[in-house]
Amino acid sequence: MRDTMPTHTMQAVRYTTFGERPELVEIERPEPGPGEVLLRITASGLCHSDEVVMSFPEEGYPYPMPMTLGHEPAGVVEALGEGATGVEVGDAVIVYGCWGCGVCAMCASGREQLCLRGMVSPGLGRDGAMAEYMVVDTARHLVPIGDLDPVRAASLTDAALTPYEAIKKVLPHLTGGSTAVVIGAGGLGHVAIQLLRQLTSAKVIALDVGEEKLAFAREMGAHETVESNADAAARVRELTDGIGAEVVLDFVGIDATGATAMAAVQVGAPWCASARAADPRRSGCSPRRTTSRCAPRCGARARRCSSSSGWRSAARSASRRRRTRSRRHCRRTPTSTTGRCAGARSSCRDSRWRPRHAAQHGGGCGPRIRADR
């Protein structure tokens, strides 16, 4: 940042021309409107999504142009708009990036990323944090950081929030004696390892490629590390006495790691999938946008992950295989009157088949919970 006398202009990194790299330009410094907060930016995280938003074609581009990039902000409160309360000038903060209307049913329940009136984010629809100053729409999106280093804290708004959300959803599965697998110990995964150690008593197994990355995972707190290759799932099962992991967190999001996750997870356990290259237009704010759909016609429910098409194809194929087996088993169940699989429900009363139904409907691929980007 420049060390000059206050002016009415500032420097910003802006995406100005489709298909070109962003530019450092001089623009007018924003002023906070009613209820808004002006931040003096002290740090801004860089994210893969910053590349993604510059790869979209001009036709149908979802954001206003030109746009200041940066959706992982840290800063100091510089000025308050009329009526803004909850923070004071000089407070050091980071910025929660999913900005909803604040009054719809989703926002009122704390899920602004699913705002019924549409959600925006700094750097993804609003001018972001790769600038000297940034306007935040409301003080409720500011989180005090005290004396934390803003350079280290900025990425907490995304790279830490993403695995945190995924882990919070599966905490009931991570009791004493349980195992959690983290695939990919990079930007998201290394934070997930630390969160798992802080929030749970589970054994943490990290998968990655290369001894340097595995050593880093151990430094972050992983109890065990496994080379991520074709034998990784078998090794995970060896480390869990043949049972598999209670939770698998995939922070790579490609077909190969999806297959490993399905093979390593316990029957009926969650597979939390993070798609690093997911389209921000579909996911809104990367951490948590999730939709639900019926999986097999037997009544099982699954979470649809907006990740690569390969994952969805693999999930559909697995669903068809399970459905075929389920129908065959149900036809052999003397007490089943439905003519089709009743899943793990009590209408499948034959004890010979009930465990198999549980396996088929919990399965290695569901429920899947979208965790990232």
- Does the pLDDT of residue 351 top 80, yes or no? no
Q: What is the pLDDT of residue 271?
A: 60
Of the two residues 372 and 70, the one the predictor is more confident about is 70
According to DSSP, residue 253 is labeled -
In the Cβ-directed half-sphere of 282, how many Cα atoms lie within 13 Å? 17
CA distance 163 to 363: 22
Output the DSSP codes for 290-341.
-EEEE-STTS-EEEEP-S-HHHHHHHHHHHHHHHHHHHHHHHT-TT--SSS-
Average pLDDT over residues 300-308: 31
> CB–CB of 245/180 below 8 Å?
yes
What average pLDDT does range 33-58 have in this prediction?
Answer: 92
**Does residue 369 have a pLDDT over 70?**
no
Mean pLDDT along residues 73-91 = 96
Compute the CA torsion angle 86, 88, 91, 93 (nearest 10 deg). 30
Q: Does 309 score more than 90 pLDDT?
A: no
Pairing of strands 301-304, 291-294: antiparallel
Share of the chain above pLDDT 90, in %: 56
pLDDT, tens digit, for every residue of 144-159?
Answer: 999 999 999 998 998 8
The fold of the 161-370 domain, in CATH, is Rossmann fold (3.40.50)
| Domain boundaries, given as residue ranges, for the chain | 9-157, 161-370
Rounded mean pLDDT of the chain? Answer: 77
Per-residue confidence (pLDDT) for residue 136, from 0 to 100 = 96
Model pLDDT, residue 113: 87
pLDDT score, position 333: 34
pTM above 0.85, yes or no: no
Give the C-alpha separation, 194 to 216, whole Å: 12
* pLDDT greater than 60 at residue 306: no
Whether residue 110 is predicted with pLDDT greater than 70 in this model: the reply is: yes
- CATH annotation of 9-157: 3.90.180.10
- Render pLDDT for 170-189 as a digit per residue (tens, 0 to 9): 999 899 999 999 999 988 99
